[in-house]
Chains A and B, each alone.
Chain A
Amino acid sequence: EAGVAQSPRYKIIEKRQSVAFWCNPISGHATLYWYQQILGQGPKLLIQFQNNGVVDDSQLPKDRFSAERLKGVDSTLKIQPAKLEDSAVYLCASSNTPTSGPYTQYFGPGTRLTVL
């Protein structure tokens, strides 16, 4: 079974530029998550999709971050304009829809963003 795919793996931009990240979840997984992991910290949830609808975006800085999941499969996360403090690894994860019992989130390799 293929895992969660993300691209690019690395990105370096200057502040005030725009950047976009792409995620392809595990086939059949209805739930998709974007996390931000700043160096030395644990991942923090930015946004969660159930199919193509947003379930939780309470920690997404909506003045500069946006995300979409068209057709309920792939997703893109965009930052416009970027700030220095956005330097982090952006992780995508997916899981089955939890109908009952425990379920597991599977993570992609992440995109390391450096803002200069």
Chain B
Amino acid sequence: GDSVTQMEGPVTLSEEAFLTINCTYTATGYPSLFWYVQYPGEGLQLLLKATKADDKGSNKGFEATYRKETTSFHLEKGSVQVSDSAVYFCALRSTDKLIFGTGTRLQVFP
């Protein structure tokens, strides 16, 4: 069945460092891809999305490009802030169902 694999965390960075969180997927057809973020004590918020190959989603300085040839949707940010500390979930939508990865915790220290 369809699935999403994320790099395990935690990812620990200093403020202003470059961030990459890897995400690969397995799916039949052409799913839409998402990154959700979960701040402590809060629900999931959509961070960005891409609906077809080569699309780039971006929001709040975060970017991810839908790579069909490598079945990947890696999340990147050029300069992280302490306020970016959260758990990040990669997800795909297959038919009408969202399938999530296990999440990657990001910890940013000043």
Interface on A for B, CB 8 Å cutoff?
A: 4, 6, 31, 33, 40-45, 48, 55-56, 91, 93, 98, 101-102, 104-110
Pair B46/A41 contact, Cβ less than 8 Å: no
Q: Is B26 an interface residue (CB 8 A)?
A: no
Tell me what chain B mostly uses at the interface: helix, strand, loop, or mixed: strand
Q: By the criterion CB–CB under 8 Å, are B45 and A40 in contact?
A: no
Instruction: List B residues at the A interface (Cβ < 8 Å).
Output: 4, 32, 36, 41-46, 49, 51, 89, 91, 96-98, 100-103
Across the interface, do B101 and A42 meet the contact criterion of CB distance under 8 Å? yes
Complexed CA–CA distance, A56 and B95 (Å): 11
Question: Is B96 within 8 A of A48, CB to CB?
Answer: yes
A104, closest chain B residue (CB): B46
A106 to B89, CA, bound (A): 14
Answer whether A42 and B100 are a contact pair too, CB < 8 Å, given A102-B32, A102-B49, A102-B51. Answer: yes
